[in-house]
Amino acid sequence: MIEVYDLVKTFPTAEGPEKRAVAGLSFRVAPGEIYGLLGPNGAGKTTTLRILSGLIGPTSGRAVVGGIDVTADMLTVKKSIGFMTAHAGLYQRLSPRELLMYFAELHDMDYLTAHRRAGELIDWLEMGDFADLRCGALSTGQRQRTNIARALISNPPILIMDEPTLGLDVLTNRLILDFIRRERDNGKAILLCTHYLDEAETLCDRIGLLHQGQLIAEGDLQSLRRQSGCERLTEIFLKCVGQSGAHILETGSLFSEDPKA
């Protein structure tokens, strides 16, 4: 569903050398799988997600989403993706229901289908109480549920989510995580970035650890434990990030096993 080969993205800077945000990244996300892309701030997670959602173009390498190269046909790629950013704003003066209907129209959905789909999402994400209030009046949790519903309005086969549970209370957190699992069980390919490692441990089927734009470890939790000798993902993560950059550059991997294998 998502295939990334040797992806590179550099950003020009006005002052001098280019900033290399993604430096030769490769991974795959299969349908019915939740793939967690983890890494410290500035590791290149958000840039990777933006390339996959067709917002920016890669400098080199290939990103294929739903069988289509993102550089070849961004519009078709965008149609097959539900994209949720970390700090997504909402239109303050629209209600969640109006917002969902708007994005449904942008996704070419006809009115009846859109209306039904919006109703379903409002039920599933327990948004009934606030679906017709203005977004400006919503709490953080309500806003985040609205955002998830917006990303899913077109029922896309692929979900790309940046920090879906950022700043949420326990109840909303559980609601959203259950919802993501449910979407996975429905066969969607889900790529998500998160800083909550405990959450990633329980949620993700496979995990990729990103550091300085490169994947330094990848696999399911068991294999990461095996490779690193650590039990908790937090320890694995700290071990990765704590390693010197030179070692990573030299071997291309934090651990002895090839992460791309």
Partner 1 sequence: MSQSRRIGAIYRKELTDILRDRRTLIAMIVIPVVLYPLLMIGFMRAAEGDEARIRAQQFIIEVDNEPTRSELEQVLSQYSQDMLKQGEQGPKFKVLVGHTSGEELGDEVQLRVVLGQEDTDSYLLRRRVVRIMYNEVNVFSRTAMQELSGVFDRIGEFLMRQYLRDNLGDTISGVPAERGIELILEPIVVDTKSTATELQRGGWALGQIVPFILVLLTITGAVYPAIDLTAGERERGTLETLMAAPVPILQLIVGKFLVVATIGMFVAALNVVSVGATMHFSGLTQAITSELPTRLPASALLIILFCMIPFALLFSAILVAVCSFARTFKEAQNYVMPVIIGAMIPAMVVVMPSIRLEGIMLVVPVANMVLLVRDLFQQTATWTMVIVVLLSTTLYAIAAVAVAARLFGQEAVLFADAGSYKTLFRRSLFPPLERPSISQALLLAALLFPASFYAQSLVSGVSQDNFVGAMSLFALVQFFLMFMLLPLCLAGYLKIDVVRTFRLRWPGKARIWLAVLLLGTSSWVVAHQFLLLQSEYITPSKALAESLETLEAKLAEQSLWVILLLLAVVPAVAEEWLFRGFFLSGTASSLKKWSAIIMVSVIFGIYHFLIDHILVKALLGVLLAYLCWQTRSLLPGIIVHIMHNGWVLILSRYPDLASRVGLPEDSNVAQAHLPSHIQIPAFIIFVLGVIILMTIRDHKTSLVPEGGSG
DSSP 18: P
CB 253 within 8 A of CB 242: no
Contact 25, 216 (CB under 8 A): no
Q: Which is nearer to partner 1, 5 or 111 (CB)?
A: 111
Residue among 87 and 250 whose Cβ is closer to partner 1? 87
Cα separations in angstroms, 210 against 34, 41, 167, 185, 206:
16, 10, 22, 26, 13
Segment contacting partner 1 (CB under 8 A): 23-31, 80-88, 115-123, 196-204? Answer: 80-88
Helix, strand or coil, per DSSP, at residue 69: strand
Residue 31's Cβ-side half-sphere holds a number of Cα atoms within 13 Å equal to 9
Chosen residue from 7, 70, 90, 190 binding partner 1 by CB under 8 A: 90
Q: Which of 105, 132, 178, 220 binds partner 1 (CB under 8 A)?
A: 105
Q: How far is the CB of 142 from partner 1 (least distance, A)?
A: 16
Residue number, 57 or 128, with CB nearest to partner 1: 57
Sole window of 7-15, 166-174, 180-188, 204-212 interacting with partner 1 (rule: CB under 8 A)? 7-15
Q: Does 81 bind partner 1 (CB under 8 A)?
A: yes
Beta carbon nearer to partner 1, 85 or 223 = 85
> Token pair for residue 8?
């590179």
Nearest Cα residue to 98 out of 58, 70, 138, 63: 138
Alpha carbon dihedral 82, 84, 90, 96, in 10-degree steps, equals 50
Q: Is 16 in the site for partner 1 (CB under 8 A)?
A: no
Q: Are 180 and 25 in contact (CB under 8 A)?
A: no
Residue 112 in the binding site for partner 1 (CB under 8 A): no
According to CB under 8 A, which one of 92, 139, 140, 234 is a site residue for partner 1? Answer: 92
CA 258 to chain centre: 24
- Coil, helix or strand for 26? strand
Helix axes 96-106 and 140-152, enclosed angle (nearest 10): 20
Nearer to partner 1, 50 or 206 (CB): 50
**Which residue in the set 106, 133, 137, 171 belongs to the binding site for partner 1 (CB under 8 A)?**
106
Q: From the list 28, 107, 195, 225, which residue makes contact with partner 1 (rule: CB under 8 A)?
A: 107
The residues in 37-76 that bind partner 1, with binding defined as CB under 8 A, are 50, 53-57, 72-73, 75-76
Provide the binding-site residues for partner 1, judged by CB under 8 A. 11-14, 19, 50, 53-57, 72-73, 75-76, 78-79, 81, 83-85, 87-94, 98, 102-103, 105-108, 134, 147, 150-151
